[in-house]
């Protein structure tokens, strides 16, 4: 989208107004070039704390810092004109309570220019969401499988089976009632995700949830196939860029070793000039 485009940037109220309407398209982004592409197609671009695993090689999102989120948020903001940009609050930046959460969220919004922040958790953080929204900070909530609590869950397991379904429904209702403008539902049983979507007045955004959610989100590197080994069941690969990149690098290495690259078309020619004595 050009700088002269008349389309305005989307806001949290715009997202709320999409409840039950055309599905919301959401992807993660961590860099300016990817953000520019995502902005052409998405309603929401999330600077996810998944950046720790995707770009920094961490085993989980727990090692992601506020400084990292600010850095990547600034990069993504340079590529966004239309989509609502949301930034994840990393582990340890809001769990102490509303005051800590406000300081962290205020820094993210001031330094990155994002339109909202995202917090993981349910009833336990409802008061924090209420505190933030009352002070002008829009919040996207996240229930079901919350990766920052992966050690509590004992791994990246499907949620909402058996007795946990009632808890997840209560979590979703609590964060919505506290003022969250949308709720991400991750890796939960499909019937539960559908039921939550029906009950909430705000949009739900599924990831490994249900096609009946009000929108969908994926980690961009997952759906582009940047990883050749890791593929969760809920990820559809729309490309295999990891395979293509591996083949391209192999071809480059071969040509360098056999001195067929660079060719004459890749170098600069001109009259030979002897070096000065």
pLDDT band at 162 (very low <50, low <70, confident <90, very high): confident
pLDDT band at residue 18, thresholds of 50, 70 and 90? very high
Same domain flag for 80 and 146: yes
CA distance 47 to 56: 14
Whether residue 135 is found in the same domain as residue 36? yes
pLDDT of 173-228, one tens digit each? 999 999 999 999 999 999 999 999 999 999 999 999 999 999 999 999 999 999 76
Band the pLDDT of 152: cuts 50, 70, 90: low
Residues 137, 20 share a domain: yes
Q: Report the mean per-residue pLDDT for the chain.
A: 92
Helices (H), the chain: 12-16, 32-41, 51-54, 66-77, 98-112, 126-134, 150-153, 164-177, 190-199, 220-223, 241-257
Q: Say if residue 102's pLDDT is above 90.
A: yes
Q: Does some domain include residue 117?
A: yes
Please tell me whether 60 is known to bind a ligand: no
Indicate the range of 145-154, 219-228, 233-242, 250-259 predicted with least confidence. 145-154
Examine the pLDDT at 265 and tell me if it is beyond 60: yes
The residue with greater pLDDT, 94 or 275, is 94
Identify whether residues 245 and 128 lie together within a single domain: no
State yes or no: 88 annotated in a binding site: yes
Asked, for residue 3, whether it belongs to a domain, the answer is no
At residue 161, the 3 state secondary structure works out as: coil
Is 49 annotated in some ligand binding site?
yes
182 known ligand binder: no
Is 186 marked active-site?
A: yes
Both 140 and 257 in a single domain?
no
Residue 164: pLDDT band (50, 70, 90) is confident
Task: Identify whether residues 137 and 262 lie together within a single domain.
Answer: no
Percent of the chain with pLDDT over 90: 83
CA distance 174 to 124: 9
pLDDT of residue 150: 63
Residue at 276 is within a domain: no
Q: Mean pLDDT, to the nearest integer, of 236-242? A: 93
Q: Which of 186, 255, 258, 265 is catalytic?
A: 186
Report whether pLDDT(37) > 80: yes
Domain identity same for 194 and 78: yes
User: How confident is the model at residue 176, as a pLDDT?
Assistant: 98
- For 257, counting Cβ atoms within 10 Å of its Cβ (0-12 exposed, 13-18 middle, 19+ buried), the class is exposed
246 and 182 both lie in a single domain: no
Same domain, 198 and 254: no
Q: Mean pLDDT, to the nearest integer, of 28-44?
A: 98
Q: Answer yes or no: is 196 within a domain.
A: yes
As for how many domains the chain has, the answer is 2
Does any domain span residue 6?
Answer: no
8 belongs to an annotated ligand binding site: no
* Domain harbouring 16, CATH code: 3.20.20.60
Establish if 56 belongs to a structural domain. Answer: yes
274 in a structural domain: no
Same domain, 157 and 253: no
Residue 15 has pLDDT above 80, yes or no: yes
pLDDT(1) > 60: no
Domain co-membership, 260 together with 220: no
- 4 occurs within a structural domain: no
Residue 6 pLDDT level (bands cut at 50, 70, 90): very low
Model-level pTM greater than 0.85?
yes
Burial class (CB in 10 A: 0-12, 13-18, 19+), 74: middle
Would you place residue 67 in the very low, low, confident or very high pLDDT band (cuts 50, 70, 90)? Answer: very high
**Is the dihedral angle over the CA atoms 10, 16, 19, 23 positive or is it negative?**
positive
Same-domain pairing of 254 and 133: no
Give the residue numbers spanning the domain of 195.
12-236
């Amino acid at each position: 989208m050009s700088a002269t485009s008349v389309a305005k940037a989307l806001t949290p109220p715009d997202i709320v107004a999409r409840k039950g309407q055309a599905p919301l398209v959401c992807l993660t982004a961590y860099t300016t070039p990817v953000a520019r592409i995502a902005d052409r197609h998405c309603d929401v671009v999330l600077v996810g704390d998944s950046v720790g695993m995707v770009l920094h090689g961490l085993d989980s999102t727990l090692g992601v810092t506020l400084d990292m989120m600010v850095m990547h948020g600034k990069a993504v903001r340079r590529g966004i004109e239309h989509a609502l940009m949301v930034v994840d609050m990393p582990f340890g930046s809001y769990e102490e309570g509303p005051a800590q959460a406000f300081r962290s969220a205020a820094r993210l919004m001031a330094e990155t220019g994002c339109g909202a922040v995202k917090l993981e958790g349910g009833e336990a953080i409802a008061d924090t969401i209420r505190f933030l929204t009352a002070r002008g900070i829009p919040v996207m909530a996240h229930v079901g499988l919350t990766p920052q609590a992966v050690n509590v869950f004992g791994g990246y397991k499907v949620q909402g089976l058996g007795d946990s379904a009632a808890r997840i429904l209560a979590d979703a209702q609590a964060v919505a009632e506290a003022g969250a403008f949308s709720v991400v539902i991750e890796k939960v049983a499909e019937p539960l995700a559908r039921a939550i979507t029906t009950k909430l007045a705000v949009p739900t955004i599924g990831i490994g949830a249900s096609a009946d959610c009000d929108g969908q989100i994926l980690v961009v590197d997952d759906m582009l196939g940047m990883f050749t080994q890791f593929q969760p069941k809920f990820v559809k690969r729309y490309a295999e860029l990891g395979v293509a990149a591996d083949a391209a690098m192999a071809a480059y290495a071969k040509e360098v070793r056999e001195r067929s690259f660079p060719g004459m078309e890749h170098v600069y020619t001109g009259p030979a000039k002897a070096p000065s004595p």
